[in-house]
Structure 1
């Protein structure tokens, strides 16, 4: 089963004040950190963003098909893209009936790990559900989830019907929800799904990253 990676970088960063994707933690921007994480577990990486943005990124950028329509528009853009890739590949191999996945991540989660994403993608490949999504504190994390291309029609129908709330649209496709018992072992310090939404959040994340780098350096001495 193929898993394609997508960085969702189309948000307005209104509360943050500047473009979160370009916020630097350590020696990398959040866009770089997220893209490299995806590259470690996915066949390829694509950025979903407003038209014309991130032209110098090391991965291809596709324009959000529904700019201004919130995260659901970006998710649908990724699903259309992965479906187009799948259709092109199936013309070469008509016997292939697999359903590729899009691992979709927002670029404001600085403490996600490769180990957790590998667990998530392995779970998706083994699942019969169309969406595999963690639940944290009673809320789903759709921008840290695996979406099968087979979910696109149901999500598109919800969108075309006026729905813009991701958690509601997801109910139209089969879901496997990963609860705390599934992901807790990957969350060693309670920050795995932590979102960087404001400038204060950024400063906190920067301090944590600096402390981690400092501890790693001291251990290496």
Structure 2
């Protein structure tokens, strides 16, 4: 059951403090674009576009800002906000600090979609929860984890029994830079 982009809501989570980066990493420039713009470009063509961030913090044309209800609880809080606001049956959920994401990356995940979450494994063999497809049906589990103070997004993803794509299959189509995570200014040099 491959999904089409227009059937899926896209969401970027950009509500973190960027403490290791030293400034707002969403606004850091890499070439012509900010990290936020780069991730948004990878999600072009998705039906609904949600930016999970404090209101008024960023201007991203065509994206609706959605505040976190569980602010300060990490990316799981961002996923809860995205799933709560989404209209489509799935959310393509991406972190702002993954500027190597490409449209090809999302195509690989969309082609593998079933009725459950879809995630890729990074080079180390672990699931990448910050660039995955989540079904709206996961919302009750997300909220239960938040209420129980179990904030590990990877643990939630594993509990959802996702379709898992090996990193080699993803890299073959999306390139190796897709896995670069920007936490410090030096990480931009890897791109």
TM-score using structure 1 length: 0.77
Supply the distance in 2 between the matched residues of 1:4 and 1:143 (Cα, whole angstroms). 15
Instruction: Give the deviation of 1:118 after TM superposition.
Output: 1.3
> For residue 170 of structure 2, what is the aligned residue in structure 1?
183
Contact 2:44 2:103 in 1 (8 A): no
- Structure 2 distance, partners of 1:168, 1:116, is 22
Q: More helix per residue: 1 or 2?
A: 1
Paired residue for 1:63?
67
**Is the CA contact 1:155–1:170 (under 8 Å) kept in the aligned structure 2?**
no
Corresponding residue pairs, total:
184
Asked whether the equivalents of residues 8 and 48 of structure 1 are also in contact (C-alpha less than 8 Å), the reply is: yes
1:125-204 equivalences in 2 (<5 Å):
127-129=114-116, 131-136=117-122, 137-188=124-175, 190-202=176-188, 204=189
SS of 2:72's equivalent?
Answer: coil
Distance 1:171 1:36 in 2: 28
In structure 2, the partner of 1:74 is 78
Consecutive aligned runs of 4 or more in structure 1 exceeding 4 Å deviation: none
What is the CA deviation profile of residues 99-148 of structure 1, one whole-angstrom value per residue up to 9, with x for unaligned ones?
x1100111112222211211212222xx132x111111122111100000
With a CA cutoff of 8 Å and minimum separation of 6, indicate the structure with the bigger relative contact order: 2
**For 1:184, what is the secondary structure of its paired residue?**
helix
Report the Cα offset of residue 167 of structure 1.
1.5
Distance (Å, rounded) in 1 between the aligned partners of 2:9 and 2:25: 23
- The one of 22, 35, 38 equivalent to 1:17 is 22
SS at match of 2:66: strand
1:50 aligns with 2:36: no
Q: Which runs of 5+ in 1 are unaligned?
A: 87-99, 209-221
RMSD: 1.7
What is the TM-score with the length of structure 2 in the denominator?
0.89
